[in-house]
Amino acid sequence: MDKDLPDHPIENVSGIGPHRAKLFSRLGIRTIPDALNYLPYRYEDRTGLKKISEVRPGNVEIVQGRIVFANVVRTRRKLQIFEISINDGSGLLKAKWFNQSYMQKNLPVGQEVILSGMVKNTGQTALEMDSPEYEIVSDGTDSFIHTKRIVPVYRITGGISQKQFRKIMFTIVSEYASKIRDTIPPSIIESNNLAPLSTSIQQLHFPEAGTDPEILNSGMSKYHQRLSFNELFFFELGLAVMRRAARLSKGIEFKTEGVFRKKLLELLPFKLTDAQKKTLEDISRDMRSACPMNRLIQGDVGCGKTVVAVLAMLDAVESGYQAALMAPTEILAGQHYINMHGPLKALGLKAELLTAGPKAVQLAGIRSGETGIVIGTHALIQEGVKFKKLGLAVIDEQHKFGVMQRALLRKKGMRPDVLVMTATPIPRSLALTLYGDMDCSIIDELPPGRKPVVTKLLEADKKMEIYELLRTEIDAGRQAYVVYPVIEESENTDLKSAVQGKEGFEKVFPEYRIGLLHGRMGTEDREKVMLSFRQGELDMLVSTTVIEVGVDVPAATIMLIVHAERFGLAQLHQLRGRVGRGAHRSRCILVVYKPYGEDARRRLHIMLRSNDGFRIAEEDLDIRGPGEFLGTRQAGMPDLKVANIVRDMKILQKAKSEAFGLIEASPELGEFPSLKKAVEVFWKGKKDLFRTG
């Protein structure tokens, strides 16, 4: 039996037919282990049995007594009400259920019951409970499920009641929890002081008397920790296996003297920051080694990731390979090209900008290898683009690309080194798991002399003040961004919009040149507007959040974010990063409409207090919780059901080091077949970890 438990379908449990099985599958429960791992999301302490004479209206109370009266009443509105009264020797209590006349059978006069529910005073002699949970006390039973204990509360779906669900879980846990096989090597259990698996499952579903309900509700009981460890251990084992496979595959060993690199550094009008140097060292080490680089560079907007990438590309070229940089938009690719091609030319190197509709001579140069450096958009991964010898692929703003697109670029070469860059900081705690199959460098320092953006909060009715701020900047020859949450006003929102906003500003500032940018415009029109803003042909750009990531407009020194209370923290920070990119002090004005909630208040407050992307990311994570925060970024990774990587950070670290250690010692988990199977089940549909043969 115990061997087959993983595949044991839920239908085998008595009380679960095809209909129930369907309901369970909606909750992701298909097998018995699924059910055992489906933990309550909270616990109710129903241990405190009270005398009826002691219960108080307004409290949730638990009482036990004998039914002395039971009746079904019909109201004028055709409602059926089932009523009972119980007596425990200290007094009488009434209970009512609506449209549940069938309960008459379950609760006949004379039956001993336990009731748990909110007590009401209806003005009659006896106090009353509406639709309490009940449990029949039968002779010789001491295993209560729904009352007189710490009661588990599960997330359920329509079609089944909490009580029915709990009853089934009780059956499953009683029958199978003790039979579940612990796949984790005993030495790991011992050295990490983990509670036994079966006990943990039992205790988390139906905790024994005396357990502290608060610890259970915090998710930090030793039993929770045990299950979190399991999950995180399986997770990290998967990462360790992938990492090992990557290490084993043979890539390019770049060999350079750093001649080009040195020349470029001499041409640059600035010195690299320490963080940039450190990142370059990481990259050089990877590039020299025989296994393919897979490195993520994280760094806040404006920290200077591009120059680091260019220096790496020079090393590739010097070694006789080609290098490509892919950016998410034409504007951005163009910007990289404009910034680079001058210095590259001075080094005698040929760079191409490849966007939609590449020319035949461009493609020929790339195919022959004459072109060493290619900068482009998605156009780079089109079929017609063939490289002679692509050695390094760089992906800018990687979150804008899908996994597939990254893989396609990689396929343009023979196991090229890959560098991806992101300006969306990920809290360190998350980077550990999120990009577990990548190495990570962090540029946590801005070039010297940057003036932090001054952020200010203004209520929307302070119009004169807002106009004055804009006027001051624009009249000094600078430019302004104004960001709105929606394109157009409509009946189902009361939000201000970009279209109407632009019309309003045109009336207030007839002398200014104002542009409009939003997601319903075609790409070409969008890029045209962006370009004329960049070239200073517009004073003001009214837009939605589509303003390109990474675009550098040094003369833009003020940004207004309208309805700032509606934006997420990461988004606010990204938007703010569009200003403060030149020599002049910049401002970000958060225009808010009251009232707004506590979370919005926290977000705005953090924006006022901090310019540090990592700090902001940590706070964002705290407000939203890891599930929300990760969102789609976790594509390709299994879901964590029990563990919370913020709360369980310590467990994660232990699980990681144990997992990586184990894979080192037993790469194929050959000595641990049941563990291997468990890890495969955990990663099923995401990655095939162990190749057979």
Binder of residue 299, out of Mg ion, ligand ADP, none (CB less than 5 to 8 A by kind)? ligand ADP
Q: Which residues pair with 97 in a beta bridge?
A: 82
Binder of residue 270, out of ligand ADP, Mg ion, none (CB less than 5 to 8 A by kind)? ligand ADP
Report in angstroms how near the CB of residue 498 gets to ligand ADP at its nearest. Answer: 25
Cβ atoms of 53 and 34 within 8 Å: the answer is no
Which helix (H) or strand (E) segment holds residue 457: the answer is strand 454-459
Interface pick for ligand ADP out of 95, 172, 307, 374 (rule CB under 6 A): 307
Binder of residue 238, out of Mg ion, ligand ADP, none (CB less than 5 to 8 A by kind)? none
Q: Does 638 bind ligand ADP (CB under 6 A)?
A: no
Rounded distance, CA 239 to CA 683, Å? 10
Using H for helix, E for strand and C for coil, what is the string for 507-533?
HHCCCCCEEEECCCCCHHHHHHHHHHH
Report in angstroms how near the CB of residue 549 gets to Mg ion at its nearest. Answer: 8
Return phi, psi of residue 689, to 5°: -80, -45
Interaction pattern, residues 531-570, with ligand ADP; x per rule: CB under 6 A = -------------------x-x------------------
CA distances from 362 to 375, 387, 393 (A): 12, 11, 18
Rounded distance, CA 397 to CA 395, Å? 7
Strands 390-395 and 322-326: parallel
Strand order in the sheet with 390-395: 351-354, 373-376, 322-326, 390-395, 417-422, 294-299, 439-443
Q: Which is nearer to Mg ion, 231 or 548 (CB)?
A: 548
Classify residue 543 by its DSSP letter: E
Report in angstroms how near the CB of residue 301 gets to ligand ADP at its nearest. Answer: 4
CA atoms lying within 13 Å on the CB side of residue 16: 24
Binder of residue 333, out of ligand ADP, Mg ion, none (CB less than 5 to 8 A by kind)? none
Report in angstroms how near the CB of residue 403 gets to ligand ADP at its nearest. Answer: 22
Report in angstroms how near the CB of residue 36 gets to Mg ion at its nearest. Answer: 47
Q: Which amino acid is at 672?
A: F
Choose the binding region for ligand ADP from 302-310, 455-463, 634-642, 685-693 (rule: CB under 6 A): 302-310
Interface pick for ligand ADP out of 232, 303, 562, 643 (rule CB under 6 A): 303
Q: How many residues bind ligand ADP (CB under 6 A)?
A: 16
Sign of CA dihedral 33, 38, 39, 40: negative
Q: Which is nearer to ligand ADP, 423 or 637 (CB)?
A: 423
Q: Which residues pair with 69 in a beta bridge?
A: 85
Q: Give the N- to C-terminal CA distance of the chain in Å, as an integer.
A: 29
Window 250 to 279, contacts with ligand ADP (CB under 6 A): 270, 272-273, 276
Residue where the block lists tokens 């450190």: 278
Report in angstroms how near the CB of residue 451 gets to ligand ADP at its nearest. Answer: 13
Report in angstroms how near the CB of residue 485 gets to Mg ion at its nearest. Answer: 25
Report in angstroms how near the CB of residue 534 gets to ligand ADP at its nearest. Answer: 13
Which helix (H) or strand (E) segment holds residue 672: the answer is none
Q: Which is nearer to ligand ADP, 114 or 324 (CB)?
A: 324
Peptide bond connecting 595 to the previous residue in cis, omega within 30 degrees of 0:
yes
Q: Does 302 bind ligand ADP (CB under 6 A)?
A: yes
Interface pick for ligand ADP out of 203, 230, 279, 306 (rule CB under 6 A): 306
Binder of residue 301, out of Mg ion, ligand ADP, none (CB less than 5 to 8 A by kind)? ligand ADP
Cβ atoms of 229 and 194 within 8 Å: the answer is yes
Cβ atoms of 654 and 644 within 8 Å: the answer is no
Q: Does 33 bind ligand ADP (CB under 6 A)?
A: no
Interaction pattern, residues 392-431, with ligand ADP; x per rule: CB under 6 A = -------------------------------x--------
Cβ atoms of 276 and 300 within 8 Å: the answer is no
Window 431 to 450, contacts with ligand ADP (CB under 6 A): 447
Q: Interior CA angle at 23 toward 17 and 27, to 5°?
A: 130
CA distances from 44 to 97, 117, 655 (A): 21, 11, 31
Report in angstroms how near the CB of residue 332 gets to Mg ion at its nearest. Answer: 7
646: tokens are 């913020």
Q: What is the C-alpha radius of gyration for the chain, rounded to an integer number of angstroms?
A: 32
Residues 6 or more apart whose Cβ sits within 8 Å of residue 408: 381
Q: Which is nearer to ligand ADP, 65 or 550 (CB)?
A: 550
Report in angstroms how near the CB of residue 362 gets to Mg ion at its nearest. Answer: 23
Q: Does 301 bind ligand ADP (CB under 6 A)?
A: yes
Q: Which is nearer to ligand ADP, 42 or 450 (CB)?
A: 450
Choose the binding region for ligand ADP from 214-222, 252-260, 300-308, 640-648 (rule: CB under 6 A): 300-308
Q: Which is nearer to Mg ion, 322 or 329 (CB)?
A: 329
693 burial via Cβ count (<10 Å: 0-12, 13-18, 19+): exposed
Interaction pattern, residues 153-192, with ligand ADP; x per rule: CB under 6 A = ----------------------------------------
Window 488 to 517, contacts with ligand ADP (CB under 6 A): none
Strands 49-50 and 60-74: parallel
Report in angstroms how near the CB of residue 395 gets to ligand ADP at its nearest. Answer: 12
Q: Which is nearer to ligand ADP, 299 or 413 (CB)?
A: 299
Q: Which is nearer to ligand ADP, 237 or 446 (CB)?
A: 446
Q: Interior CA angle at 278 toward 429 and 353, to 5°?
A: 95
Q: Which residue, 157, 352, 245, is CA-closest to 688?
A: 245
Binder of residue 334, out of ligand ADP, Mg ion, none (CB less than 5 to 8 A by kind)? none
- Using Cβ positions, the residue closest to ligand ADP within the complex turns out to be 304
Distance of CA 71 to the CA centre of its chain: 53
Report in angstroms how near the CB of residue 382 gets to Mg ion at its nearest. Answer: 23
Report in angstroms how near the CB of residue 324 gets to ligand ADP at its nearest. Answer: 17
Q: Does 299 bind ligand ADP (CB under 6 A)?
A: yes
Binder of residue 303, out of Mg ion, ligand ADP, none (CB less than 5 to 8 A by kind)? ligand ADP
Binder of residue 307, out of Mg ion, ligand ADP, none (CB less than 5 to 8 A by kind)? ligand ADP
Window 346 to 375, contacts with ligand ADP (CB under 6 A): none
Q: Which is nearer to ligand ADP, 65 or 425 (CB)?
A: 425
* Interface contacts to Mg ion, rule CB under 5 A: 550
Rounded distance, CA 232 to CA 243, Å? 16
7: tokens are 């595949």
Strands 556-562 and 587-592: parallel
Cβ atoms of 350 and 364 within 8 Å: the answer is no
Interface residues toward ligand ADP, by CB under 6 A:
270, 272-273, 276, 299, 301-307, 423, 447, 550, 552
